[in-house]
Every structure is written in structure tokens, then in C-alpha cells.
Amino acid sequence: MDFIPGGELSRRIRDGDVSAEGELIRQFEPGLRVLLRRRTGGDYGLLQDLVQETLLIVIQRLRGDGIDDPQKLAAFAAQTARNLAIASLRKAERQRTDVDSEATDRNADPTQSVDRIASDHEAALAVRAMLRELPQARDRLMLKRFYLEDHDKELICQELDLSEAAFNQALSRARRRFRQILEERGFAKRDLLSLGL
């Protein structure tokens, strides 16, 4: 897919080109997911909501007033996403300090809960499958230390008697296999968004 510069996307959307809106979504959605994943603490439902909300705000802005510097469209979208994440966090904090449990039950959205669980489930399923295939316990221990316990590569190599090359090779193998499993099971495709614009 060719990358379309922000200036061109902004101009086309302002001119009413609907296909440009589709291009903007395809272009920015993966990056927004990365940014918001880091700020939503594993809450998949919230991540989806904020990605959609960001894209809606950006597109509506481009349809209307436009932005000051169209060349910096990516930076504008990123900042919009960050602002939404901060607002959402503040809202959640307010709710934690003043919870009306009956109201929470009444307003619970079961589809969002199911979706959230399903997302976690998919990543966990793929990890379990990947761990089963790793031939050495040392590789699994290495992944745990690196991703979850925040240990330095150097320290892990030292503790597990690994060379840096062997560490990188094992990490790369695990990543590749994890991605393959997600793709084989169709989990990667669930990331596609459908926006009602």
C-alpha cells in the first residue's frame, strides 16, 4: 500500500473524497492501535473505542475547518489519541471514587465485556501454543524474564548462560511463531475496523 502524505490526504478529504477517508483509516489505524494499547492497560474494548473516536475526530476536523499544518497530520492524529486516552483515564478515576454499583450493573455493556475477554483470550491462546512448541525450558524462562520481569538482556544472558546471539535468535523465533499462530488462526484479521462515518 502506498503511503499518501498528510497534506494530500487533508486536501482530498476537505474536497469530499470518500476514498481518501478510507486511506486515512488504513494508514493511521495500526499506529493508533500501538499508541493507545500502551495507554489503555490491556482494556481491549476501550482501545477499540478510542481508536474509532480518534479517527472520527480527525476525519470530521478535516471535513470541516482542517488543521493548521496538514503536513503534520500524523502528529495531529497522535496527539488527539493521547488526549482521548488521558480524558478516558480521568473519567475512569472519577468513576472509581464514586461508584454506584446498581447503575454500573444497569449500564453494563455485555458485548464490550465479551469482546474484551475474547481479545485477551486470543493473545493468550497464541502464547500458549507458542510456548508448547519451544523446545527448551530456557527459552520460555527467557521470554518471561525479558517481557514480564523487565530484566536486562545482559543479565538474562548471564543467568541463563546464553550468548547475545543465541538470545536474539530465540527471541526472534518466538516472535515469528507467535505471529504465524495469530495469522493462521485468523486472530490478526480481527484488528480491522469498521467505522460508521
Residues that bind other proteins (CB under 8 A): 1, 3, 26-35, 37-38, 42, 74-75, 77-78, 120, 123-128, 131-135, 137-138, 140-141, 143-144, 146-148, 150, 159-160, 174-175, 178-179, 182, 191
* Contact between 44 and 33 (Cβ < 8 Å): no
Minimum distance from residue 196 beta carbon to other proteins (Å): 22
Whichever of 86 and 99 has its CB closer to other proteins, that residue is: 86
* Maximum pairwise Cα distance, the chain: 61
Give the integer Cα–Cα distance in Å for 141 and 162.
12
Instruction: Determine whether 116 is exposed, middle or buried from the number of CB atoms within 10 Å of its CB (0-12, 13-18, 19+).
Output: middle
DSSP 78-96: HHHHHHHHHHHHHHHHHHH
Nearer of residues 105 and 161 to other proteins, judged by Cβ: 161
Give the torsion sign (CA, 20, 26, 30, 36): positive
CB 98, min distance to other proteins, A = 29
Rounded least distance, CB 110 to other proteins, Å: 21
Of 95 and 169, the one with the shorter C-beta distance to other proteins is 169
User: Toward other proteins, which CB reaches closer, 107 or 163?
Assistant: 163
Shortest distance in whole angstroms from residue 147 CB to other proteins: 5
Nearer to other proteins, 103 or 147 (CB): 147
Q: How far is the CB of 103 from other proteins (least distance, A)?
A: 29
What is the Cα–Cα distance from 97 to 47, expressed in whole angstroms? 22
CB atoms within 10 A of CB 54: 24
